[in-house]
């Protein structure tokens, strides 16, 4: 019998225990991979060349506080500014509270100049610009509710005391978050009695080099006013928004640590039981000339194999599942997608390898220290 055959035969000696161990490792690494993917989605918003040119101006106190609309002309005159757009979170309800999706009042004429990566049919874009109560909707939200061009929808105001009645005149896809709905800020202002309030200003800079100076000038221009500003890049703004949900990295990191620690205990326990049952067999191997390093190698190979097989099933099972389900619908719009990247797969398989090595150390050293006489006294 060859050495590999001997290792495989030992692994399959107790098939029930083998299957349960592999399933335990698979499920644990499935959860680990999925959690790491979710953390990446929440804490690392996608970036692009277009997004790198956008900066956001909001109230210095918090996102819940608004800014005066009269700030816009001053922003437009600043050097380095190409486009300025009002953008206010509406946060209304469509029929039911469960039907969450992002809704914004925007300067319609500036929308596709600021969010240049979004693609919309030119005719639909013109129809959107011509009607004050028109809106454009991301393709994912259109598909979610089965909407089509020309449909009329009503949003029930929760934050703002108005209920916009909108007509869908355009659909956009690619580049930008495809779950948003955008409607005219002029229509919103009219419904609200022209209060002259804006949630945020989104600015497209002329180039990336002017952004640091532009951020500083904007905040300096409105310092000591009734509504001081905090200006930041789009990426910093998105990360700040995510941080309001708490320290997600610590939470997911803690859960992942518990998962890995549990896997080590389970696999180490399995290997300890397997080696204890083979005490006489190991003693015989020593008696016929196998030294400590060879015995250690046999045990390590078996543990490594179990952990690697389980890791492969768990990691690539997560990749396959998340690739083939509609996470947007399942999460009710909270998550757009969950892409298991090669780096996350590599991290999961690395954990599996380390698990296989770590869990075999204690039982392997114990078997090496056991003498041939003591081993032969043990009952299989």
Domain extent listing, the chain: 3-45+246-377, 66-226
154 phi and psi angles, rounded to 5 deg: -125, 130
Question: Distance between CA 369 and CA 367 in Å, rounded?
Answer: 5
88 in helix, strand or coil?
strand
Which residues of the chain fall below pLDDT 70? 1-14, 42-48, 240-248, 273-292, 327-337, 362, 364-380
Question: Distance between CA 286 and CA 379 in Å, rounded?
Answer: 17
Output the pTM of the full model. Answer: 0.65
Question: What local confidence, expressed as pLDDT, does residue 287 receive?
Answer: 64
Question: What local confidence, expressed as pLDDT, does residue 179 receive?
Answer: 87
Question: Distance between CA 2 and CA 367 in Å, rounded?
Answer: 21
Question: What local confidence, expressed as pLDDT, does residue 68 receive?
Answer: 94
Q: Which of 298, 308, 307, 309 is nearest to 275 (CA)?
A: 298
For the chain, how many residues are written? 380
53 contacts 335 by C-beta, under 8 angstroms: no
Question: What local confidence, expressed as pLDDT, does residue 36 receive?
Answer: 86
Question: What local confidence, expressed as pLDDT, does residue 24 receive?
Answer: 84
Residue 103's region, left for phi above 0, alpha for psi from -120 to 50, else beta, is beta
Exposure of 117 in the CB half-sphere (CA atoms within 13 A): 15
91 contacts 111 by C-beta, under 8 angstroms: no
pLDDT tens track for 21-41: 888 889 888 988 988 888 777
**Could you tell me which residues come within 8 angstroms of residue 356 by beta carbon, excluding any fewer than 6 positions away?**
267, 300, 303, 304, 305, 306, 307, 308
Q: What are the distances in angstroms from CA 68 to CA 79, 107, 158, 164?
A: 21, 15, 21, 21
pLDDT tens track for 39-61: 777 666 556 677 788 999 999 98
pLDDT tens track for 60-104: 988 889 999 999 999 999 999 999 999 999 989 998 888 888 999
Question: What local confidence, expressed as pLDDT, does residue 300 receive?
Answer: 76
CA dihedral 367, 372, 376, 380 (to 10 degrees): 20
């Amino acid at each position: 019998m060859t050495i590999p055959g001997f290792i495989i035969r030992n692994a399959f000696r107790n098939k029930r225990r083998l299957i349960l161990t592999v399933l335990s490792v698979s499920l644990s690494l499935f959860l680990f991979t999925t959690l790491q993917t979710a953390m990446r989605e929440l804490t690392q918003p996608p970036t692009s060349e277009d997004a790198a040119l956008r900066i956001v101006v909001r109230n210095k106190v918090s996102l819940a506080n608004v800014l005066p609309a009269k700030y816009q002309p001053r922003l437009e005159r600043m050097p380095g500014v190409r486009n300025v757009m009002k953008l206010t979170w509406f946060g209304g309800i469509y029929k039911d509270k469960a039907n969450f999706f992002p809704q914004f009042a925007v300067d319609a004429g500036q929308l596709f100049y600021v969010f240049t990566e979004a693609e919309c049919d030119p005719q639909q874009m013109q129809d959107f610009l011509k009607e004050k109560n028109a809106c454009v909707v991301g393709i994912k939200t259109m598909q979610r509710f089965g909407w089509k061009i020309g449909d009329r929808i009503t949003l029930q105001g929760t934050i703002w005391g108005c209920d916009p009645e909108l007509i869908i005149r355009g659909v956009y896809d690619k580049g930008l978050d495809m779950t948003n709905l955008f409607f005219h800020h002029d229509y919103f202002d009219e419904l609200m009695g022209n209060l002259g309030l804006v949630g945020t200003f989104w600015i497209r800079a002329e180039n990336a080099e002017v952004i640091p100076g532009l951020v500083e000038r904007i905040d300096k221009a409105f310092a000591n006013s009734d509504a001081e500003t905090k200006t930041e890049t789009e990426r910093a703004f998105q990360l700040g928004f995510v941080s309001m949900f708490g320290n997600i990295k610590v939470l997911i990191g803690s859960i992942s640590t518990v998962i890995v620690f549990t896997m080590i205990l389970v696999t180490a326990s399995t290997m300890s039981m397997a080696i204890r049952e083979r005490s006489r067999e190991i003693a015989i191997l020593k008696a016929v000339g196998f030294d400590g390093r060879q015995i250690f190698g046999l045990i390590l190979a078996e543990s490594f194999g179990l952990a690697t097989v389980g890791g492969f099933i768990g990691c690539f099972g997560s990749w396959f599942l998340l690739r083939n389900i509609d996470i947007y619908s399942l999460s009710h719009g909270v998550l757009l997608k969950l892409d298991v990247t090669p780096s996350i797969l590599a991290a999961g398989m690395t954990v599996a390898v380390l698990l296989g090595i770590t869990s075999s150390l204690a039982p392997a050293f114990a078997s090496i220290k056991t003498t041939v006489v003591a081993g032969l006294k043990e009952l299989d």
